[in-house]
Amino acid sequence: MRMKYRTRAVRAQESGEVTEKIDYSEEHNPSDYEERRKARKRQENEDRRTWRERIIAEAQVEYKGALLPQTVEGNRSEGVEIRELGIIVSSDPQTIANFWSKSGCLYSHPYPVGYKATTIHWNQEFLMTIDAEDDGQGNLFPLFTVKSLDSGKMFSGYSPTYPWTQFCLKRSTGERLSGPRMYGFSDHVTMALIRNLPNYEVASKIYYDDESDDDE
């Protein structure tokens, strides 16, 4: 890449487009690169926090300052203990669709941002969360993260099944797990709790109205 860049620069000088002599003597400084990399990482993390804060702020304004995300005490669903229900995104049809379950799931429902739940599997306790991830082009998608509270290992992906699949592959036992079931989304108790969130009706109406328009 350096030689290609230099060739272009030399050609520019020869053609008269650049009159200033270019100095190639300054070498790349590894410590400067590492600092820039760390700065980019810090900025990415700050951007993620900003996106989530914006979503929560919009929901609070829309629903007159309701305390979100909602915390749930003692609710269990098929061995899953729900710690926080989170909030339902209802900003625009595309974002709502991004945060909605796919056709293969048992129930059709939104994925709440800020959802937190724990479950016991393989004699370990796992924390499961859903966050909002920006794709770099202003589009938001749900990010599913599963972390073993015993070993500290964790995996993230854009479906509830992906992180659980990574844990299965690490164990090399051939076992397959359903992400929606592990998260508690295959149980009517969780569905009842999600449907009672403040902006479920708004998001649901927008989602199904938009789907009807696509089918016409």
pLDDT tens sequence across 128-154: 999 999 888 888 999 999 999 999 999
Sign of CA pseudo-dihedral 114, 119, 121, 124: positive
Residue 69 has pLDDT above 60, yes or no: no
pLDDT category at 72 given cuts 50, 70, 90 is very low
Please give the pLDDT value at position 188. 87
Partners of 131 in the beta sheet?
Answer: 143
Structural domain boundaries of the chain? 70-209
- 60's tokens: 């609070």
Q: What is the pTM (predicted TM-score) of this model? A: 0.65
* pLDDT number for residue 52: 55
Query: What is the fold of 70-209?
Result: Double Stranded RNA Binding Domain (3.30.160)
In this structure, which amino acid lies at residue 155? F
- Burial (Cβ within 10 Å: 0-12, 13-18, ≥19) of residue 200: middle
Flag whether pLDDT at 162 surpasses 80: yes
What's the half-sphere exposure (Cβ side, CA atoms, 13 Å) at 175? Answer: 13
* pLDDT tops 80 at residue 43: no
pLDDT band at 6 (very low <50, low <70, confident <90, very high): very low
The mean of the pLDDT values for the chain is 77
Cis peptide before 160, with omega less than 30 degrees from 0?
Answer: no
Show the CA angle centred on residue 183, arms to residues 61 and 107, nearest 5°: 80
The pLDDT, as a whole number, for residue 58 is 52
